[in-house]
Structure 1
Amino acid sequence: MSVFLALGAVAGCSQEYYDERGKADAPVLGDRGEDSPAEVFNFPDGFGNLATKCVGPGKRGYTTTKGSVSIDEDVVIIPANAVLVDDPTCRKH
């Protein structure tokens, strides 16, 4: 439960920060962080893509991109999701 609360706190902070790419990524202390590539799975248009990678010793993160759906003449944005799970294959870098 605390993982989801922490993710919610981080996600809430990221809404007001935009970098030069126009992304609302949360700022990283000292502009340094672990930036190894994620494994990305593309889904058809209208569905969020999925990315996964080890995010710490014994932890794997999964995240989706935001999606959208057209309802009548409106476009509804489906928010991105993020989940952390135990993964013994994720070792310390």
Structure 2
Amino acid sequence: MNRARGSGTLRAAGLLLVVGTLLVGCSQGYNDKRGKGDAPVKGKAGDNTPVEVYNFPDGFGNLATKCVGHGFRAYVTTNADAPSNVQIVEDKACAG
């Protein structure tokens, strides 16, 4: 009986070690030092034009918008307690 209990404890400890290692390894690529937490851009040649930001009171997601591509506008919400929400819609003002 003691041997079975020890074996189960050893397996649980091994599983915990594997899961912990995976979680630590995955978190190494995430850098939110400046509040961005964005993905790397190949060649660092992304579109760095400014966005329009609409701040909402604490507890509500802020809204950012800008033209993306040709003829499209992106709307992105941010909130520390919820995942980001992205909507891309056609916008004739963004053509060109």
Alignment of 1:1-93 (within 5 A): 16-18=29-31, 20-21=33-34, 23-67=36-80, 77-92=81-96
2:6 is matched with none
Q: Which has the higher strand share?
A: 1
Distance 2:54 2:90 in 1: 20
Structure 2: give runs of 5+ residues left out of the alignment. Answer: 1-28
Q: Is the 8 A contact 2:77 2:85 kept in 1?
A: yes
Q: Is the 8 A contact 1:58 1:88 kept in 2?
A: yes
1:4 is matched with none
Runs of 4 or more off by more than 6 Å in structure 1? Answer: none
Q: Deviations over 1:40-78 (max 9, x none)?
A: 1110100010000101111000001124xxxxxxxxx21
How far apart are residue 19 of structure 1 and its match?
5.9
Count how many residue pairs are aligned between Structure 1 and Structure 2.
69
Larger radius of gyration: 2
Q: TM-score, normalised by structure 2?
A: 0.63
Q: Which has the higher helix share?
A: 2
Q: Is the 8 A contact 1:17 1:27 kept in 2?
A: no
Q: Is the 8 A contact 1:63 1:80 kept in 2?
A: yes
Distance 2:33 2:71 in 1: 32
Structure 1: give runs of 5+ residues left out of the alignment. Answer: 1-15, 68-76
